[in-house]
Amino acid sequence: MATTTSGLDGYVFADTAISHVDGDQGRLVIAGLDVEQLATTESFEAAVARVLAAGAATDREPLALGPARQAAWTMLPRLGDALTAPDAMDALRAALAHLCSTGDDHADAVAAIGAAPVFVAAWSRLRAGAEPIAPDPSLGHAADYLRMTTGAAPAAAARALEAYLVTVIDHGMNASTFTARVITSTGSDLISAVVGGVGALKGPLHGGAPGPVLDMLDAIGEPARAEAWLLGELAAGRRIMGMGHRIYRVRDPRAAVLETAVKPLASPRLELARAVETAAAKILRERKPDRPLAANVEFFTAVLLDAVGLPREQFAATFAVGRVGGWSAHVLEQRRTGRLVRPASRYVGPMPA
């Protein structure tokens, strides 16, 4: 009988033109560009157009995300309790589920990518007791997301947020992308796949870590306290948030991209974060010499999203605002190249007497 592989480590599930993760070299290529180049030269709209074209195996088409944001805004009165959920990811999942599939993947992708920041920003405003702010289709996607949340979009902060959204747009066959592709493989629609992706991304082992990273930095407070605090966490049986990765055996390349992107914002937390990362890497190296555990994307995500002015409760949902581009691209690719996903299980229960 076949052995059970619960984490599917090392299994290649699909051929993809969307992104490539080299865990040993610490390299991430997205639709033909290194993530460092993509994040510093491309707008979010351009990056989305790239991944969608890679997924569909077509030429790049310009994307009208402004009208899609406006369309989502007109839905707000019909979203019922969705946007008052205590958790931003629950709100985003529930709100996206209100989108009706048109049956056309490209149109559904534009609708979902456009809607995500509108729903998250509205959730954030309502939670703070403020009125949601309508989208401005003349702005870039990242700048408008920031403005809809905070009321303003200073150029440096908008640029840093855009670099973040581009950086997280896609990342190989991660759990939420796999989820989206499994849903697509049944012949279901793109909106359902994206809603499933949000559900998978919510978990702290995947996208839910940046809020806790900021909590950790707050709890540590100053570099001199880092080592003792981290040792206390490990002694209590807890993991260090923002450290370790299933694929990377070196520092996640996205950590460096985000660390660079946050520099112009002069975040008071950046120096502390660097000190905590150094201390955590040293401690984990001593504890697990055979299992390299370095900073992952969430580590500097926390510093960056905090520096641009987003509340930490919105961090995981902001990851989704970027990743919905990648999920959509994978839906297009799965539809073209995939087949029904239907693995086996090994029955370990009793047999009838």
- 56 vs 67: CA distance, rounded Å: 22
Phi, psi angle pair for 295, to nearest 5°: -65, 140
Residue 22: strand pairing partners:
27
Catalytic residues: 245, 298
- 107 vs 94: CA distance, rounded Å: 20
Q: Least separation, in Å, of the C-beta of 152 and ligand COA? A: 30
When the beta carbons of 148 and 241 are compared against ligand COA, the nearer one is 241
When the beta carbons of 13 and 46 are compared against ligand COA, the nearer one is 13
Cβ atoms of 68 and 111 closer than 8 Å: yes
User: Residue with structure tokens 């990851």?
Assistant: 319
When the beta carbons of 195 and 283 are compared against ligand COA, the nearer one is 283
When the beta carbons of 15 and 290 are compared against ligand COA, the nearer one is 290
Q: Least separation, in Å, of the C-beta of 333 and ligand COA? A: 22
Q: Least separation, in Å, of the C-beta of 296 and ligand COA? A: 4
- Characterize the bridge pairing of strands 33-34 and 19-22: unpaired
Cβ atoms of 119 and 72 closer than 8 Å: yes
CA atoms within 13 A on the CB side of 52: 22
Beta strands (DSSP E) in the chain are 19-22, 27-30, 33-34
When the beta carbons of 154 and 203 are compared against ligand COA, the nearer one is 203
Q: Least separation, in Å, of the C-beta of 336 and ligand COA? A: 28
> Which two three-digit tokens encode residue 104?
């056309």
- 101 vs 166: CA distance, rounded Å: 25
- 31 vs 10: CA distance, rounded Å: 22
Residues that bind ligand COA in the complex, under the rule CB under 6 A = 205, 209, 239-246, 284, 288, 291, 293, 296-298
C-alpha distances (whole Å) from 328 to each of 105, 169, 331 are: 8, 10, 5
Tell me the residue number closest to ligand COA, measured at CB. 244
Q: Least separation, in Å, of the C-beta of 313 and ligand COA? A: 17
